[in-house]
């Protein structure tokens, strides 16, 4: 099977065949094994041994993982699925800015914006308190505030919708 | 010596004190809230007493319940650890009035230096240099504005009762003052129940260097040398080391004498720390005195060979310290990384969850002072410190190399942690040269937390991801029976068995 793998924004073609992984034309013996009773997996490439922990499987073929203590994001799709997803990405509708959701449970201390405000990337939107520290949640992209769904003093759960943007 | 000590704290420091008690042959009593019923500190102590619901103010901050627990279990002394009630004058007094021993300074010494304004006033009389600023809490924005104008911007707002960066704000221009004052007061009130805030001149580019002092009840006050804690984010220390690259033996002696003078002026007994700002010219300014054991005490322990927690207990039991002349220059170098449940890749947002796997590093020169284990639930009730990783080496370079190695071994699964961040700092050329100050981290944060991974690891990651996708495809990932394999080769079972044998200690 041939996989197209994006790792931290770089693309690799990996063909798995007869115990070997052929990466961009270069062949390596490779294996992946779990270590019993632990979430650690051992990745071998040739004789090299790497320790890997899967942090999250975001969707099919999409992984956030640690390898030898460093974080990576990787997406491995077979070449057909890759082609379909790339096509969707280039022709798909342009999504608006993602809404701001609570990254953790906590207390809303202050709202820095109201509906209708124009914001720039990096602007503080909401101040939340968790673990006794105030954390400012900032806009990742420029836009306009469509609606604010919380008020100061509210306790919110992780993932709660705080501010809708457009 | 005491027969039994009650530990009025939780997490790694409670466990640290349990260990000291056990080594001294002293019984230990832990206390725990609902959330900590099965926490490591509660299960490692000789006895454990439930003191209330999970919120700190209903458990770890309830002096009455802690004193009752000590009485009930027959503990003769209370060790407050750090945080919680450790620096409350009233608590120290109530413990003594209940006929128990407070393992820490006398209430009068906490009062003398406990609030930053009182400490600054005392420093003035003890000939201890301080950063220019107000000595009285600010009563209004107007008063703050006048003081800031007089000192000249930038200025620093600080909570009088504060510590750990809570209630602290840098103000660079008059227009920011009102908002910053409001935020500092709010944080101070939420964290300490006291919204008193004062203002001082902001000194750019200094190092944070602190002196550990240790005094007994017989008039001996020792300086145990410095720790450098310049690696801070939002005034929270993240990495500490001893000694400091910026401190010569001569400067160490002068700073030590100054700290001892301050401690004596306060009538201090037991372990305490004088924090200083050290500027590029070797001038130092007293910041505050912490009237308790510090989080970062292990680095001092490793370079002096003294067990500070044992000494705290021995001093409280009336024992005598050796003389200053018996304290040698620091031996080797020690570094501590605070491993917190914060996601460095996401602006250090707190991460919650259950720790499903914990592998603690080992080998030469490595110490782990932890407070969590596999199964620990990391919630939002308490601070995010999971444990402290400490490495010792004969030189600073050796200590850094050892820390780097230990960080690679440390594996915590279930919550995001600050480990990757620490690894990047250890790999940083400026940090390796010791070219740091208290603004270094804020300045370098984008490059220390950007993206992820190392380019040379990408091929292995690409292969691993393809193999994961392949095994997912085969439906094996969802439910590996035990130690399943996803190798594409025919020798997988053999290899797996071999690896399992070789890695049994994991």
* Assigned token pair, B319: 């024992």
CB contact under 8 A, A3 and B469: yes
Domain identity same for A81 and A36: yes
pLDDT for B367 equals: 98
Is B252 considered catalytic here?
Answer: no
The domain tally of chain A equals 2
- Residue B159's pLDDT band (boundaries 50, 70, 90)? confident
pLDDT category at B494 given cuts 50, 70, 90 is very low
CA of A43 vs chain B CAs: smallest distance (Å): 6
CATH code: domain of residue A50: 3.30.700.30
Under 8 Å between Cβ of B376 and B10: no
Contact across the interface for B467 and A48, Cβ inside 8 Å? no
Give percent of chain B above pLDDT 90.
Answer: 74
Residues A138 and A67 in one domain: no
How far is the alpha carbon of B474 from chain A, nearest alpha carbon, in Å? 12
Strand partners, B366: B391
Do the Cβ atoms of B316 and B270 come closer than 8 Å?
yes
Arithmetic mean of pLDDT over chain B? 90
Given a contact cutoff of 8 angstroms between Cβ atoms, the answer to whether B27 and B5 are in contact is yes
| A86 in the same domain as A30 | yes
Q: Do A7 and B472 touch (CB under 8 A)?
A: no
- The residue annotated as part of the active site, out of B120, B207, B227, B292, is B292
Listed in sequence order, the residues at least 6 apart from B67 whose beta carbon sits closer than 8 Å to its beta carbon are B78, B94, B95, B98, B100
Q: Is the dihedral of CA B135, B141, B143, B149 positive or negative?
A: positive
Least CB–CB distance from B460: residue in A50, A63, A104: A50
Between chains, do B467 and A42 touch, taking CB under 8 Å as contact? no
Among A57, A91, A125, which residue terminates a domain? A91
CB contact under 8 A, A131 and B350: yes
CA distance to A4, A125, B253, B380, B421, per residue, from B346 (Å): 27, 16, 42, 17, 11
User: Which of chain A's residues have a Cβ under 8 Å away from the Cβ of B413?
Assistant: 39, 53, 55
Pick the CATH number of B132-201 from 3.60.9.10, 3.40.50.920, 3.40.710.10, 3.30.1490.20: 3.30.1490.20
Q: Tokens 């490439």 correspond to what residue?
A: A45
**% of residues, chain B, pLDDT over 70:** 92
Q: B204-331 domain in CATH 3.40.190.10?
A: no
Query: How far is B49 from B69, CA to CA, in rounded Å?
Result: 7
Backbone angles phi, psi at A35, to 5 degrees: -105, 120
**Contact check, Cβ <8 Å, B485/A33:** yes
* Whether residues A75 and A8 fall in one domain: yes
Count A/B contacts: CB-CB distance under 8 Å: 211
Q: Say yes or no: A52 and A104 in one domain.
A: no
Most confident of B165-174, B371-380, B473-482, B494-503: B371-380
CATH topology (fold) of B4-103: Rossmann fold (3.40.50)
Residues A6 and A45 placed together within one structural domain of the fold: yes
Q: Which residues of B touch A124 (CB under 8 A)?
A: none
What's the rounded Cα separation, in Å, for the pair B344 and B353? 16
Structure tokens at B409: 């071994």
Cβ contacts (< 8 Å) between B491 and chain A: which residues? 19
Q: What is the mean pLDDT of residues B418-424?
A: 93
Bond into B243 cis (ω within 30): yes
- Across A8-166, the runs of DSSP E, i.e. the strands, are 10-17, 20-23, 26-34, 40-45, 48-59, 62-67, 70-78, 100-101, 106-111, 118-119, 124-130, 133-138, 143-148, 155-156, 161-165
Within 8 A of A140 by CB-CB distance, chain B residues are none
pTM: 0.80
Please tell me whether residues A6 and A25 are part of one structural domain: yes
- Which of B463, B474, B490, B500 would you mutate first to test chain A, the one with the most A CBs within 10 A? B463
CB B490 within 8 A of CB B483: no
Measure CB to CB from residue B463 to each of A28, A34, A39 and give the nearest one: A28
Using CA of residue B482, residue B483, residue B488, residue B494, what is the dihedral sign?
A: negative
Query: Do A77 and A26 fall within a single domain?
Result: yes
Mean pLDDT value across residues B123-130? 94
Question: Could you tell me the residue ranges of all domains in chain B?
Answer: 4-103, 132-201, 204-331, 332-433, 459-502
Work out the pLDDT band at A143, boundaries 50, 70, 90: confident
Domain shared by A79 and A25, yes or no: yes
Residues A146 and A125 in one domain: yes
Provide the pLDDT confidence category of residue B446 given band limits of 50, 70 and 90: confident
Degrees, nearest 5: CA angle B4-B369-A134: 105
Query: For residue A65, what are the domain limits?
Result: 2-91
**DSSP codes of every residue in B52-85:** E-SSGGGTTT-HHHHHHHHHHHT--EEE--SSTT
Q: Which of B384, B386, B385, B382 is nearest to B373 (CA)?
A: B386
Mean pLDDT of B416-424: 93
Asked if CATH classification 3.30.470.20 holds for the domain at B332-433, the reply, yes or no, is yes
Interface predicted TM-score (ipTM) of this complex, two decimals: 0.71
Give the CATH number of the domain where residue A155 resides: 2.40.50.100
Residue B130 clears pLDDT 60, i.e. is over it: yes
Listed residue (B187, B195, B152, B143) closest to B171, CA to CA: B152
Give A-chain residues touching B384 at CB under 8 angstroms. Answer: 131
Q: Do A43 and B490 touch (CB under 8 A)?
A: no
Q: In terms of domains, do A11 and A87 share one?
A: yes
Q: Do domains B132-201 and B204-331 have the same CATH topology?
A: no
Residue in B352, B454, B484 closest to A70 by CB: B454
- Backbone dihedral angles phi then psi of residue B241, each to the nearest 5 degrees: -145, 160
């Amino acid at each position: 099977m041939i996989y197209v793998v994006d790792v931290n924004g770089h693309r690799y073609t990996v063909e798995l065949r007869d115990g070997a992984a052929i990466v961009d034309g270069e062949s390596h013996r490779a294996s992946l094994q779990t270590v019993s009773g632990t979430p650690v997996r051992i990745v071998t490439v040739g004789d090299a041994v790497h320790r890997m922990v899967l942090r999250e499987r975001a969707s099919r073929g999409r992984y956030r993982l640690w390898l030898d203590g460093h974080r990576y994001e990787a997406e491995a799709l077979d070449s057909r699925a890759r082609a379909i997803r790339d096509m969707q990405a280039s022709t798909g509708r342009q999504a608006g800015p993602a809404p701001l959701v609570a990254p953790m449970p906590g207390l809303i201390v202050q709202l820095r914006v109201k509906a209708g405000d124009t914001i720039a990337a990096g602007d503080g939107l909401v101040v939340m308190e968790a673990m006794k520290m105030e954390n400012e949640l900032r806009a990742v992209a420029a836009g306009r505030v469509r609606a604010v769904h919380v008020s100061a003093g509210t306790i919110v759960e992780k993932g709660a919708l705080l501010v809708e943007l457009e | 010596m005491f027969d039994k000590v009650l530990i009025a704290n939780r997490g790694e420091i409670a466990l640290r004190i349990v260990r000291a008690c056990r080594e001294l042959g002293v019984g230990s009593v832990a206390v725990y809230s609902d959330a900590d019923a099965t926490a490591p500190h509660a299960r490692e102590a000789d006895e454990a007493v439930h003191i209330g619901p999970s919120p700190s103010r209903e458990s770890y901050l309830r002096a009455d319940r802690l004193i009752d627990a000590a009485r009930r279990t027959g503990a003769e002394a209370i060790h407050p650890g750090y945080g919680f009630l450790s620096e409350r004058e009233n608590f120290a007094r109530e413990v003594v009035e209940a006929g128990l021993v407070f393992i820490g300074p006398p209430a009068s010494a906490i009062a003398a230096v406990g609030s930053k304004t009182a400490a600054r006033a005392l420093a003035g009389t003890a000939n201890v240099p301080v950063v220019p600023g107000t000595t009285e809490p600010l009563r209004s924005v107007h008063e703050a504005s006048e003081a800031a104008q007089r000192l000249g911007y930038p200025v620093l707002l600080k909570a009088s009762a504060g510590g750990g960066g809570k209630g602290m704000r840098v103000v660079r221009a008059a227009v920011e003052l009102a908002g910053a004052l409001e935020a500092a007061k709010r944080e101070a009130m939420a964290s300490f129940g006291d919204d008193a805030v004062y203002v001082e001149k902001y000194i750019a580019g200094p190092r944070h260097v602190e002196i550990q002092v240790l005094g007994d009840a017989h008039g001996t006050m020792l300086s145990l040398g410095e720790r450098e804690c310049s690696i801070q984010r939002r005034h929270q220390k993240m990495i500490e080391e001893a000694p400091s690259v910026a401190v010569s033996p001569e400067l160490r002696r002068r700073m030590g004498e100054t700290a001892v003078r301050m401690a004596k002026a306060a009538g201090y007994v037991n372990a305490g720390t004088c924090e200083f700002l050290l500027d590029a010219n070797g001038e130092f300014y007293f910041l505050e005195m912490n009237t308790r054991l510090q989080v970062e005490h292990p680095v001092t322990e490793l370079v002096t060979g003294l067990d500070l927690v044992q000494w705290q207990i021995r001093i409280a039991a009336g024992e005598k310290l050796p003389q200053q002349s018996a304290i040698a220059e620091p031996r080797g170098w020690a570094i501590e990384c605070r491993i917190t449940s914060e996601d460095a890749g996401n602006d250090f947002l707190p991460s919650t969850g259950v720790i499903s796997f914990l592998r603690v590093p080992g080998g030469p020169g490595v110490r782990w002072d932890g407070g969590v284990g596999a199964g620990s639930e990391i919630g939002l009730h308490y601070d995010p410190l999971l444990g402290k990783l400490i490495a010792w080496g004969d030189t600073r370079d050796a200590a850094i190399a050892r820390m780097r190695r230990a960080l690679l071994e440390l594996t915590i699964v279930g919550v995001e942690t600050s480990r990757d961040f620490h690894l990047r700092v250890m790999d940083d050329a400026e940090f390796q040269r010791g070219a740091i100050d208290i603004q270094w981290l804020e300045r370098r944060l984008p490059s220390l937390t950007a993206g992820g991974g190392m380019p040379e690891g990408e091929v292995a990651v690409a292969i691993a991801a393809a193999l994961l996708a392949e095994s997912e495809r085969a439906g094996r990932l969802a439910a590996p029976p035990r130690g399943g394999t996803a190798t594409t080769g025919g020798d997988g079972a053999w290899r797996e068995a071999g690896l399992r044998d070789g890695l049994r200690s994991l």
